[in-house]
A and B are shown apart, each in its own frame.
Chain A
Amino acid sequence: MQRDQATASGVEWLRFEGTVDPAVVQVALVHLERTTFRKVADRLAQKRIFRVATELLQNMLHHGLPQGTCTFSVHGTQERWVLKASNPVLPPSGAHLTARWDALIAEPEGALRARERDALSVEVRSEHGGGGLGLYEILRRADGGVFYDCLSFDNGTAVVEFTAHILTPHE
């Protein structure tokens, strides 16, 4: 795990590449929380960065292929924080996620909160306790500034990638 690298267009506060386990998630979140506490003046933005990071990292942990190489990075510029996460999945999982993503971004602006509330109110849930709420949370906390891609490879895997932009300067 690499931390605090200055780049031409800002500072890369965190970069990880490898297999993800709960300890990696915890180290990343602790580092990120300390960094945003020092570098983000706005409390709500601090919390949104942490919330989006939590969902991205736990998604990687729960849905990524075991032993697959995941990447996670956090970059701060003068106007935004950019969180990027990618992990390999089986192609059917990638296709399912892509279909869900396409449906979500087709929702009219402002409808996501109602959809998330609907998803919260039903009893359906995953093995880890969630119920498909993570995508709503990432989209809403990043105020829609989320980009998704899914690439399929000949070796029978696919890689999903999320990039979330949170508009707030780092100091």
Chain B
Amino acid sequence: MSDFRLEGTSKTPAVEFTLDPLCMTLSGRSIPENSIEFFQPLLNWVDAHCTQAGKKLEVNVRLEYFNTSSSKCLMDLLRRVEASPVEARVNWYYEAEDEDMLEAGEDYDAIIELPFRLVAV
């Protein structure tokens, strides 16, 4: 495996996972009927590439909408990163007026033991 990219659709986010620099970006919306199926390749990518102890990883979440099924899968993805040996940081972007997305970011921050930066855009 190498870089992993998917174009966004009306239901699924754009995905850009790169090796150099090590970076994972999800943007757009994530409201598929079956989120597990969509997220599985993303989890596989983390398993395959986030293996080097101390290597820096930037995780960018720029989601406009996500359904509750995606919220569980996003949790799985962040947990997978958390359990890996890389040194990760999460940047959680939200529209300044979207307090729901801010709260969601705060909730992930409270659950996941990774540095979180909440960024209003």
Q: How far, in Å, is A148 (CB) from chain B's closest CB?
A: 17
In the complex, which of the residues A47, A48, A54, A129 has the most CB atoms of chain B within 10 Å of its own CB atom?
A129
In the assembled complex, A131 has its CB within 8 A of some CB on chain B = yes
B111 with A117: CB separation less than 8 A: yes
In the assembled complex, A113 has its CB within 8 A of some CB on chain B = yes
Contacts A25-B33, A58-B33 known; A130 to B68 CB distance under 8 Å? yes
Contacts A54-B67, A133-B68, A134-B68 known; A44 to B10 CB distance under 8 Å? no
Contacts A30-B10, A51-B100, A117-B107 known; A43 to B95 CB distance under 8 Å? yes
Contacts A44-B99, A50-B65, A141-B100 known; A61 to B111 CB distance under 8 Å? no
B70 with A120: CB separation less than 8 A: no
Q: How far, in Å, is B72 (CB) from chain A's closest CB?
A: 5
What is the number of residues of chain B that contact chain A, defined by CB distance less than 8 Å?
27
Q: Could you say which residues of chain B place their CB within 8 Å of the CB of A96?
A: none
> Within B100-121, which residues are at the interface with A (CB < 8 Å)?
100, 103, 107, 110-111
Indicate which residue in B10, B72, B97 contacts A130 across the interface (CB closer than 8 Å).
Answer: B72
Task: Using C-beta atoms within 8 Å of the partner chain, give the interface range for chain A.
Answer: 20 to 34
Chain B, interface SS category:
helix
Q: Could you say which residues of chain B place their CB within 8 Å of the CB of A145?
A: none
B34 with A129: CB separation less than 8 A: yes
Contacts A43-B95, A61-B33 known; A130 to B100 CB distance under 8 Å? no
B65-93 vs A, CB cutoff 8 Å, 1 = contact: the mask equals: 10111111101000000000000000000
Which residues of A pack against B, CB within 8 Å?
Answer: 22, 25-26, 29-30, 42-44, 47-48, 50-51, 54-55, 58, 61-62, 113, 116-117, 120-121, 125-126, 128-131, 133-134, 136-137, 140-141
Across the A-B interface, the 10 shortest Cβ-Cβ residue pairs: A133-B68, A129-B69, A129-B35, A130-B69, A129-B36, A121-B111, A117-B107, A130-B68, A134-B68, A43-B97
